């Protein structure tokens, strides 16, 4: 039997299936800067204050939008419109007709696989409360796929 992500569209998934697509990398919880003139997105290594730096998950997921009003709620419609989801993101990959990568926890059965593969922000993100100006933390790695090991 094929796994749900191969047989359903994003819009057809149950809430539990949808939530399980998140690999726990934390890249979408890093601040991005957008150039007003060009629209170009620059990634930073500065994380939202709610991101747990070890688990790379939101520390208050249920209340995140109340505590961080500009936190984006991903929906199938939003995924198609958002241009800053990392190329490793399962939502983006499935929306673009790609499969889940071999390190994804749904494929491996192990939530640590995303960290071992070097995809997550574990050990590479700075909490926004300690970072200072975002312009000092621009880095390309969150918007790229890591080299194969």
Please state, for a pLDDT cut of 90, what percent of the chain lies above it.
96
For tokens 């003139």, the residue is: 37
Q: Could you give the count of Cα atoms lying within 13 Å of 44 in the half-sphere of its Cβ? A: 19
**What is the pLDDT at residue 145?**
85
Give CA–CA dist 1/20, Å, rounded. Answer: 18
**What is the pLDDT at residue 54?**
95
DSSP 145: P
Span 1-35, pLDDT tens digits: 899 999 999 999 999 999 999 999 999 999 999 99
On the question of pLDDT at 147 being above 90, the answer is: no
Count of C-beta atoms within a 10 Å radius of residue 121: 22
Domain locations along the chain: 4-140
Give CA–CA dist 113/115, Å, rounded. Answer: 5
pTM of the model: 0.92
On the question of pLDDT at 148 being above 80, the answer is: no
Please state, for a pLDDT cut of 70, what percent of the chain lies above it.
98
Residue 114 neighbours by CB under 8 Å, 6+ apart: 23, 24, 25, 56, 103, 104, 105, 120
């Amino acid at each position: 039997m094929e796994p749900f992500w191969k047989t359903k569209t994003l819009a057809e998934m149950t809430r539990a299936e949808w939530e399980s697509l998140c690999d726990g990398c934390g890249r979408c919880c890093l601040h991005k800067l957008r150039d007003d003139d060009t629209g170009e997105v620059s990634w930073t290594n500065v994380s939202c204050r709610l991101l747990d730096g070890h688990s790379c998950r939101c520390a208050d997921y249920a209340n995140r939008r109340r505590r961080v009003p500009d936190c984006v709620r991903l929906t199938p419609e939003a995924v198609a419109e958002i241009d800053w989801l990392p190329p490793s993101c399962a939502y983006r990959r499935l929306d673009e007709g790609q499969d889940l990568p071999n390190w994804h926890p749904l494929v491996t059965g192990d939530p640590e696989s995303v960290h071992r593969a070097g995809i997550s922000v574990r050990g590479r993100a700075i909490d926004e409360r300690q970072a200072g100006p975002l312009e000092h933390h621009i880095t390309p790695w969150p918007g790229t796929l890591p080299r194969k090991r």
